[in-house]
Amino acid sequence: MTELENTQIEINELSLDQVFILLEQQNIDQLQLLLSSALPGQIADILEAMPPTERKQLWALIPESLGSETLTFLHDEVRNALIIDMPAEELIAAAELMEVNDLADMIEELPEPVRQSIEDNLSAEILEHLETSLSFDDGTAGRLMSPDVITVRSDVTLETVLRYLHIHEDLPDYTDGLMVINREGIYQGKLLLNKLLTHHEDTLVQELMSIQHQAIPSLTSEHEIALFFERSNFVSAAVVDENNHLLGRITMDDVIHILRSEADHALMSSAGLDEEADLFAPVIKSAKQRTIWLFINLITAFLAAWVIGMYAETVEKIVALAVLMPVVASMGGIAGSQTLTLTIRGLALNQISSGNTSWLARKEVLIGIINGLIWSAVVAGIAWLWFQDIGISLVIAAAIVINLIAAAAAGIAIPLTLHRLGIDPALSGAVILTTVTDVVGFMSFLGLATHYLL
């Protein structure tokens, strides 16, 4: 049994807690041992979870063989901070080991002299790949692709292919098939390893290759690439130019990276944060990054205050209105954010089109009316128990129904409009929505009160 138990390796050998303890004990040997057997992505996560001093200590202990790949897993801000302190030779060595798309992402962020010295030291082949990569915009298939593709011709037999593969020492990671091209380099299809391994050696490649194995046009966006892989069963796919020339390939690990980044971006931008920012950045830097969001919010808060100010006299006479007004605004905000979230998700999944928008809008407004009626009755009841004033109860009930309807309409209209204008609704949708529900909430509640209760 002992032998059996030994072979069971636990996932995640390297834990953050462990690293903190070993660093504190200055148990460098043990730490180096653990690091040498860890995966680069794991090391990157741990580095990002370290305050600056500890991070530098740990970075110095990472073996050079793991360093370059670790760099590619780090977010921009953390990576750039580490790179600045690296000696030129080390940086060049790391660059040579990187995948071309990672190198392109990194090199764009470097100061010109550092960039130049790296480029001067790259082999002609890597430099050419790097230039191709940089000629495409960030976020396109052309930038994301890697050039390490094994190609075969369609008029050879599997035996020839197998012999050709034997020349290689290893195949690139995520090779689920070989790309079939013609004399001109035009992509023709993919020979899956599955087929190669299960068919007779005399078979010709053209009899087996999958021609329905779509290639990705080089200008396709990351978002479309991710949807495409999710719906297919590919591990890798060819990237082609407008003439169907094979340029490179995109692999499933890129897709995982896209999905993680998209989720990260959605989460962080909803709070006005930059997903590339360092959790342990200097205080002043972080404060500066966050202050813009507070400023935008301040404008909307003063807009709401201004609306209340218009009804200052009413509030002065009936102070219960000041007590209850946050209830109206916040019920609208919550209901509206539900509709907003659904719409943002629908847009991200390409599930909203002119064919279903009106159905969806009608549905959301109806839900607003139903929930508005239910909760306005409850709120009116509580208000009556509290202030014993039937007028206030009726006014707050009406204001809640109005605000929930406005919230539903805004929850659909705001993201659709932002989307059409090319603005990411995940970033600014919530701020605009809350402004609407605050203004409508305060205005309907205090306006109705001014009209009927004074």
The interface with its own copies within residues 78-107 (CB under 8 A) comprises: none
453 binds its own copies (CB under 8 A): no
Q: Does the protein bind its own copies through residue 33 (CB under 8 A)?
A: no
Q: And the tokens for 345?
A: 């998700």
Q: Contact letters (x/-) for its own copies, 432-451, by CB under 8 A?
A: ------x-------------
In angstroms, the CA 22 to CA 10 distance is 20
* Sole binder of its own copies in the list 60, 198, 202, 385 (CB under 8 A): 198
Site for its own copies contains 158 (CB under 8 A): no
Tokens for 258, please give them: 């896209």
Distance CA 419, CA 349 (A): 13
| CB-count burial class (<10 Å; 0-12, 13-18, 19+) for 54 | middle
Q: How many residues does the chain have?
A: 454
CB 289 within 8 A of CB 279: no
Tokens of 105: 């992402």
Only one of the segments 84-92, 96-104, 120-128, 372-380 lies at the binding site for its own copies (rule: CB under 8 A); that segment is 372-380
Q: How far apart are CA 114 and CA 110, in angstroms?
A: 6
Q: What is the C-alpha separation between 205 and 191, in angstroms, rounded?
A: 7
Site string for its own copies, 259-298 (x = CB under 8 A): xx-xxx-xxx-xxxx-----xx--xx-xx--xx-xxx-xx
Count of residues engaged in binding its own copies, rule: CB under 8 A? 152
| CB nearer to its own copies: pick between 134 and 213 | 213
Which of the residues 402 through 431 are near its own copies (CB under 8 A)? none
State the minimum distance, in angstroms, from the CB of residue 116 to its own copies.
Answer: 32
DSSP code of residue 318? -
Least CB distance from residue 246 to its own copies, whole Å? 11
Minimum CB distance to its own copies smaller for 16 or for 28: 16
Alpha-carbon distance 201 to 207, whole Å?
12
Q: How many CA atoms lie within 13 A of 114 on its CB side?
A: 18
For 367, phi then psi, to 5°, come to -60, -40
Tell me which residues in 201-220 interact with its own copies (CB under 8 A).
214-217, 220
Task: Label residues 368-379 b or e (16+ Cβ within 10 Å = b).
Answer: beebbeebbeeb
Instruction: Output the smallest distance, CB 383 to its own copies, in A.
Output: 9
String of contacts with its own copies for each residue 41-80, x by CB under 8 A: xx--xx-xxxx--x------------------x-------
Stretch that binds its own copies, among 101-109, 115-123, 130-138, 158-166 (CB under 8 A): 158-166
* 26-31 long-range Cβ contacts below 8 angstroms, 24+ apart: 28/61, 31/58, 31/61
CB-nearer residue toward its own copies: 123 or 243? 243
Query: Residue 267 Cβ, how far from its own copies at the closest point, in Å?
Result: 6
Interacting residue with its own copies among 28, 88, 312, 390 (CB under 8 A) = 312
Residue 113 CB, nearest distance to its own copies (Å)? Answer: 32
Handedness of CA 35, 38, 41, 45 (dihedral sign): negative
User: Which residue, 117 or 289, has its beta carbon nearer to its own copies?
Assistant: 289
Considering beta carbons, is residue 373 or 390 the nearer one to its own copies? 373
Q: Tell how many helices (H) and how many strands (E) occur in the chain.
A: 23, 6
Nearer to its own copies, 88 or 305 (CB): 305
Q: Which of residues 337-356 bind its own copies (CB under 8 A)?
A: 337-338, 340-342, 344-346, 349-356
**Of 327, 341, 328, 324, the residue nearest 408 (C-alpha):** 341
DSSP string, 109-141: TS-HHHHHHHHHHS-HHHHHHHHHHHTSPTTBH
Residues 6+ apart with CB under 8 A from 238: 149, 179, 187, 190, 213, 215, 216, 246, 248, 249
CB of 119 or CB of 253, closer to its own copies: 253
Least gap, CB of 108 to its own copies (angstroms):
23
Contact residues for 99 (Cβ-Cβ < 8 A; gap 6+): 72, 146
Report 213-252 residues binding its own copies (CB under 8 A).
Answer: 214-217, 220, 224, 227-233, 235, 240, 242-244, 252
Among 28, 33, 84, 334, indicate the residue that binds its own copies (CB under 8 A): 334
Residue ranges in 164-183 that form contacts with its own copies under rule CB under 8 A? 165-166, 168-171, 173-176
Q: Any contact of residue 385 with its own copies (CB under 8 A)?
A: no
Return the residue of 2, 10, 183, 385 that touches its own copies, per CB under 8 A: 10
